[in-house]
Amino acid sequence: MTKPKNQKNVEKIYMVVSGEENKFFYSFSEAETCAKDLCEENDEEIQIFEINKAWNVFLPAEPEPEAMVTSLVSLVD
């Protein structure tokens, strides 16, 4: 298999996890503001997760078809 090229455009999103709901944001500052507001309202521990949106695609250097050796006699029996 060939090695994947370095990924330059990796998108990141931030997920605020609370006991009631999960919210997604595109910047950490928005997620942090939401988490602080939820923490003040509900008086619970809030977590923020950073999630990378990326794909790793591995392609074989040369395609290798599946092949098996059988005898014609065994196919007829």
Q: Read off the pLDDT of residues 7-64 as tens digits, 9 standing for 90 and up.
A: 556 678 898 988 777 888 989 999 999 888 888 887 778 888 998 876 666 666 777 7
* Three-state secondary structure string covering 47-76: EEEEEEECCCCCCCCCCCCCCCCCCHHHHH
**Cα–Cα distance between 50 and 43 in angstroms, integer?**
22
- Which helix (H) or strand (E) segment holds residue 43: the answer is none
Name the pTM for this structure: 0.53
**Cα–Cα distance between 42 and 17 in angstroms, integer?**
13
- Residue pointed to by tokens 């090695």: 3
